[in-house]
Structure 1
Amino acid sequence: MRPARPATFRTVPTALRVAAATFLLSLATGCAVMPEPTASEVQAQALGKVVVPPNWSAEASAAQVDDGWLANFDDAELTRLVHEALENNPDLWIASARLEQANAQVDIAEAQLKPAIGVLGRAGSKPVADLVALLSGVMLRLSWEIDLWGRMRYARNAARASRDATGADYRYAQQSLAAAVARAWFVASETRLQQKLAADMVGSAENLLGMSEQRRRVGIGTDADIMAARASLSGYADAQQQVELAHRQALRALELLRGRSPGATLATRDQLTPFPGPVPAGIPMDALNRRPDMVAAERRVAAAFDRVGEAKASMLPGLSLSAGYGRISNEALEVRDDLEQTTASTAATAIIPLYTGGALSGQVDVRTAEQKVAVADYARRALLALAEVEDALNADRVLAERERILGDAAAASRDATRLEQDAYRVGKSDLRAVNQRQLAQWSAEVALLHVQRERLARRVDLHLALGGTFGEAPPTAATPVATSDSP
């Protein structure tokens, strides 16, 4: 009987040779994968029948698009609200979690290209008739699937492209949230100013009722005038309640975007955010290259391309290698003298698909169709992106002209109302004429406020459509993955 030796692991020349041979084999036989299409190639394929103009049809500066559009509004409270929303908005948390999932998928895909190393241990006892059950010990095992045709590299590259697309989605979610907060802030400011207008109109109606009663006392008024003044006051009071409701709804919408309880407790200013100066719009191709949603669409085309390559490589033979080294217990050695304390093994497994009933070719067809969908989706998004910029540029010009016209109309309406009230006070006009002038003034003031707020909102839409960032400059785009490397 041989003396027992301590069960310790030592360097194993055989295992090293197997690992070295495996590495050399993978280098010698690994097939390079096809490179992903570049952004310009995706644009050429998706927009092959679309003539992208060199400049915007609306009048705009072709200078480089500015970053940091939020600072252009010069509204410290708006800036604070945007950053608060970025910290607390649940929808943005979801987008962030999806980015974490995409990063984890990349780690999983990259792990498939590396050897798997593990320890196998066994211990137990059974009757002597079952000799195998007496074999107890520990074995170090190594397994490695050789990526001969690039299937796993295609899968890794697809995971990376999907991760990049998810990252672009996250950046677009941030920009969209900042834009939504700005729009909601403008609406809250507009309804706050409408509250002041409504209060002024109620006060004017109360004064008009007092004048009606005074005119009747001196014998130049009638009960009908008083009833009409009271009806007018009730109408303005009702409008005031409607504006109050709209203001509270606007505050709740803004508080939800901030991730706060919608209690309508946020204080707003008594004036609209100042309108910023002109915006450089660049050229149409700049918008397609800058916008995060377009970057995401382009990276999804690249991911679909890699999945087609992965499906095609799955139709080719596969090769897996494994090796093991360990020691078995002395109990078995006492029963069988021909068993050694140390054991080592190597194995190679080849899988050659001969007939799968069309499953593999069907998978290629599925992935090819998905790639076509991704290309078509890029084309659809590109056309929408160009249309959004054109609409925003045109709206900026039209709303500026409307604001000028309505500003003149509101000023004239205020003067006309004041003159009509003076005429009624001295008995040169009737109550119906005063009410009509007040309604006209109210409509003119509300219309002016609406256009001013709409112009601010459309300016935000323009920044979003152009791909301008609301804060610091956007992060540098990820370097395209080199797809011709060996595992």
Structure 2
Amino acid sequence: MLRERFSTGTLLATGKPWRVRRFRLLLWGMALLLTSAGCAVKSPPSREELRQQALAGIELPAEWRAGGWPGPVADNWLASFEDDRLAILVAEAVTRSPDLRISAVKVEQAAEYVNLAKATLLPALNILGTGGTKSGGGDATSALQGIAAVASWELDLWGRLRYGRNGAQESYVSTMADFEFACQSIAASTAKGWFTATETLLQQQIAEEMVRSAELLLALTEKRYEVGVTGQEDVALAQASLGTLRDSAAQVDLAHEQAIRALELLIGRYPTAELKVRRQLTKLPGPLPVGIPLELIERRPDLIAAERRVAAAFNRIGEAKAARLPKITLNASVAAFTSEAIQLKDDWKNPVSGAGARLLAPVYQGGALQTQVEIRTLEQKEAVAEYAAKALRALGDVENVLAAIENLARRQRLLQRNVVDQQRAFELVQTGYRTGTVDMRGVQQQLLDLHAARLNLLRVQSEQLSQRVNLHLALGGSFGADFGNRRQQALNQ
């Protein structure tokens, strides 16, 4: 029915198609001419320019002052620990962590904002249809039957829309970098939690050995008391020492359960404290190349995110400045109408088309547009200051970790010797107690010293592993090769 009514010409009819084609060519020609004549958008400050502005007066050294092995920083640091179970737990944590799911959603949101900003640069096309009976449908237009295609396109003469698109793209890259750093942080926390769980298990073993030693010492003291070699005082001291060590063992048991539960929560499991851990600490990998301070600024994801936030703020300034200038929008339409209730003009012929332009020039808005520019400018200053703060903290992180690693290596050598000496001393005082040359207080004190020396050595060995993970995180090295590739892909975008 509708096709028959429009037999004189529709959008798809052959009434006068050359008019439509000529109109389209004219519209596109005008748009391309005006767009090409528009202002080019400015680029945000380069990485070097940003570094000089944010870190003015700070000279980066050619190498780390706290030492470190020379060479480029490598990705895939998780594989260097050669612990398959740890790799499985990290993969589980990255997949199931609620915090990472939140970050992943933010990345998707940022990507959609980019699509939204890109859409503003394209023409908009809408279809309008209307119809009704002879008596009308309740409004003035319902007596008409027809269809219309309406197009509009805002010409981005001053770069406002392009600045908005570029700002959205920079925000997307920033969000991607934040997500990668969150993944690396989760991987690092999982690794350190795994090492802590093993440490507390080994602490349990040491505590149990100390309890057994105290039990043997109590049994020996009771026999000496029975034969009259010693008095009740020694028996009481031995019992008190055993009670203290048993209490310490109970505290270590709780610490081990809490460490396992914390690890289970981190990887997204219910905290049952049933996760089985290694019975020996993971072997500390060999020397780690640490690169140079300047490379840190270029590769660490949280610094890349801060750098891109500065670029996004720069583009928002351009967008705000362009908003003060006139807006020109091209409009065009093609339509076909008929009516059984309204008498159209005798010379009315379908389809009808038209084209035009709309100009909107802000004249006075109470200073709102200039205020918006000032706000965006201050936001960029804030972003630069945040970049500087993050860069200094990142540099300090590396220097502190390198110093801690060097200190822990020195302490390990000292404590290994100390454990040997304490064990030898304990054996000697035990022999002296049996022969009556040493009293119970000397034996108890030496037992506690041996216990403390073994725990200190274990703590240092576990801390060495944790600090190695901290160094990887501080240097910005990715825990997996795929995340290093993702970083490069995001930067290329």
2:224 & 2:320 partners in 1: Cα distance? 91
1:124 & 1:425 partners in 2: Cα distance? 114
CA contact (8 A) 1:15 1:324 kept: no
SS class of match (1:329): strand
SS class of match (1:323): strand
CA gap of 1:291–1:383, structure 2 versus 1, over 3 A, is same
Return the offset for 1:103: 0.6
Report the counterpart of residue 153 of structure 1 in structure 2: 162
SS class of match (2:481): coil
Write the deviation string for residues 228-287 of structure 1: whole angstroms up to 9, x where unpaired: 211111111110110011111110111111110011111112211111111111110011
Report the counterpart of residue 73 of structure 1 in structure 2: 81
Query: Is 1:32 matched up with 2:33?
Result: no
Query: Is 1:376 matched up with 2:385?
Result: yes
Query: Is 1:114 matched up with 2:122?
Result: yes
Write the deviation string for residues 127-168 of structure 1: whole angstroms up to 9, x where unpaired: 579764411211111111110100000000000000001111
Write the deviation string for residues 41-66 of structure 1: whole angstroms up to 9, x where unpaired: 21121112211111111222331112
- Across the two proteins, how many residue pairs are aligned to each other? 479
Return the offset for 1:479: 5.5
2:309 to 286, 300, 316: 300
SS class of match (1:252): helix
CA contact (8 A) 2:35 2:157 kept: no
Report the counterpart of residue 233 of structure 1 in structure 2: 242
1:27 & 1:60 partners in 2: Cα distance? 54
Q: 5 Å matches for 1:163-312? A: 163-312=172-321
CA contact (8 A) 1:15 1:325 kept: no
Query: Is 1:344 matched up with 2:353?
Result: yes
Return the offset for 1:400: 0.2
Q: 5 Å matches for 1:466-485? A: 466-472=475-481, 474-475=484-485, 476=488, 478=490
CA gap of 1:261–1:132, structure 2 versus 1, over 3 A, is closer
Write the deviation string for residues 279-304 of structure 1: whole angstroms up to 9, x where unpaired: 11111001111101111111111111
Q: 5 Å matches for 1:89-168? A: 89-125=97-133, 127=135, 132-168=141-177
1:17 to 15, 25, 49: 25
1:480 & 1:20 partners in 2: Cα distance? 31
Runs of 4+ in 1 over 6 A off after TM superposition: none
Return the offset for 1:452: 1.0
Query: Is 1:47 matched up with 2:47?
Result: no
CA gap of 1:334–1:45, structure 2 versus 1, over 3 A, is same
SS class of match (2:51): helix
Report the counterpart of residue 485 of structure 1 in structure 2: none
2:27 & 2:423 partners in 1: Cα distance? 90
CA contact (8 A) 1:30 1:148 kept: yes
SS class of match (2:336): strand
Query: Is 1:429 matched up with 2:438?
Result: yes
2:132 & 2:102 partners in 1: Cα distance? 49
1:462 & 1:397 partners in 2: Cα distance? 12
CA contact (8 A) 1:333 1:339 kept: no
CA gap of 1:22–1:335, structure 2 versus 1, over 3 A, is closer
Query: Is 1:4 matched up with 2:12?
Result: no
2:290 & 2:112 partners in 1: Cα distance? 37
CA contact (8 A) 1:154 1:307 kept: yes
Query: Is 1:461 matched up with 2:470?
Result: yes
Q: Which runs of 5+ in 1 are unaligned?
A: 482-487
Query: Is 1:355 matched up with 2:356?
Result: no
Partner amino acid, structure 1, of 2:168: A
> Sequence identity, in percent?
45
Report the counterpart of residue 323 of structure 1 in structure 2: 332
Return the offset for 1:456: 1.1
1:356 & 1:466 partners in 2: Cα distance? 49
CA contact (8 A) 2:143 2:339 kept: no
1:150 & 1:126 partners in 2: Cα distance? 50
Partner amino acid, structure 2, of 1:220: V
TM-score with structure 2 setting the length? 0.93
Q: 5 Å matches for 1:347-426? A: 347-426=356-435
1:329 & 1:245 partners in 2: Cα distance? 85
TM-score with structure 1 setting the length? 0.94
Return the offset for 1:424: 1.8
Partner amino acid, structure 1, of 2:100: L
Write the deviation string for residues 39-94 of structure 1: whole angstroms up to 9, x where unpaired: 11211211122111111112223311122211111222211211111111111111
Report the counterpart of residue 442 of structure 1 in structure 2: 451
When structure 1 is superposed on structure 2, of 451-460 and 358-367 the one drifting more is 451-460
SS class of match (1:136): strand
2:104 & 2:323 partners in 1: Cα distance? 33
Return the offset for 1:125: 4.2
Partner amino acid, structure 2, of 1:9: L
1:335 & 1:290 partners in 2: Cα distance? 70
CA RMSD of aligned residues (A): 1.9
CA gap of 1:105–1:222, structure 2 versus 1, over 3 A, is same
CA contact (8 A) 1:424 1:430 kept: yes
2:341 & 2:409 partners in 1: Cα distance? 93
Return the offset for 1:217: 1.4
